[in-house]
Amino acid sequence: MWWRRSAPEVATARVIGPVIGALYVAGGLAVLALVALSTGDRDGRATVLAVIGVLAAAAGAAVVRWGHRLPRPLFHVLVLLGTALISTVVALAPDTVSALALAGIYSFVAVAAFFLFAPPLAAAYLLTAITAGTAVLSVRGVPAGPVVVLAVATCTIALVVASLVRRASTASLDGLTGLANRRGFDDALEEALRVATRSGAHLSAALVDVDHFKAINDQYGHAAGDELLRTVAGEWLPRVPRGAVLARHGGDEFALLLPDHDGPAALAVVEELRVASARVALSVGVAEHRPGELASQLMRRADTALYRAKAAGRGRSALYDQPGTGQSGAGGRSR
């Protein structure tokens, strides 16, 4: 079900920074516009609002530019900070009409939360924003009617964004197996490379090929081939380590991303998975990420290891950096 505890598939490192940053920029510009169009300065409030607007816009621009380098937990802080800043500018607004207008920025919290975070957490952020907005507007003397309308509008925006995100996320799933597809895997790989580069953690990738798949299709039909692919997905997915990403890479080929695994550890994992799929003959190639290496280079080495596994007799696993063929044990079977 889409109401799961993981972040949406669209919330990749390349997306999350620009989205949060753009919302900060828009919010800052909205505050500056209100200040510029307002008359008078009550106790210096306009000056404070202008400073907040400038800082928000500048911070947003920086997040748009460098947000892909930030650790994911920091974006949760930015959403909460944004809620606090919105509450502050609403409290400092020169009049109730301006306060109600600025409170519309709470909808940005709804957009950010449901676009970037798991639905349960996004709902908590939405509730926080609505509660804060209701409290601040009540203190400012805004009647209950407009406050309720604002809350309903914000919730509606959240539901629309959640629905659109759910549809967008399915674009990264394979319709046959329910696994991530090539696009989903590539996005996950880019995210994992970013984390590994920043933290220095190990990262390995594997390519899995169903041996003699074309012959199976030719002899038993495409329905049998499809069922075979679903069998592999069903047997592997429950057994992959926590944090790993299993995808259908294309045709009869699967890909497995293993964060926090060096080459030998990844080889041990895929060999265990391969042996567990006793009903299906599989060949697997594994490669460990090297510092400074691009995603395409890592996958090319995994593909080379897969070729070595097939050349050594199929039905076995191979590690790119392992001497010789990289065969994992002597028990590999061929068909």
- Which of 186, 209, 211, 252 is the catalytic position? 252
User: Amino acid identity of 61?
Assistant: A
Instruction: Give the span between the Cα atoms of 33 and 26, in whole angstroms.
Output: 10
Question: In the structure encoding, which two tokens stand for residue 96, read together?
Answer: 């109730």
Please confirm, yes or no, whether 262 is among the known catalytic residues. no
270-278 LR contacts (CB < 8 Å, sep 24+): 270/206, 270/208, 270/317, 271/317, 271/328, 271/329, 272/239, 273/235, 273/236, 273/239, 273/240, 274/208, 274/316, 274/317, 276/235, 276/236, 276/239, 277/231, 277/232, 277/235, 277/236
Instruction: Give the span between the Cα atoms of 204 and 163, in whole angstroms.
Output: 34
Burial of 69 (0-12, 13-18, 19+ CB in 10 A): exposed
Three-class secondary structure assignment of 256-313: EEEECCCHHHHHHHHHHHHHHCCCCCEEEEEEECCCCCCHHHHHHHHHHHHHHHHHCC
Q: What amino acid positions are annotated as catalytic residues?
A: 252
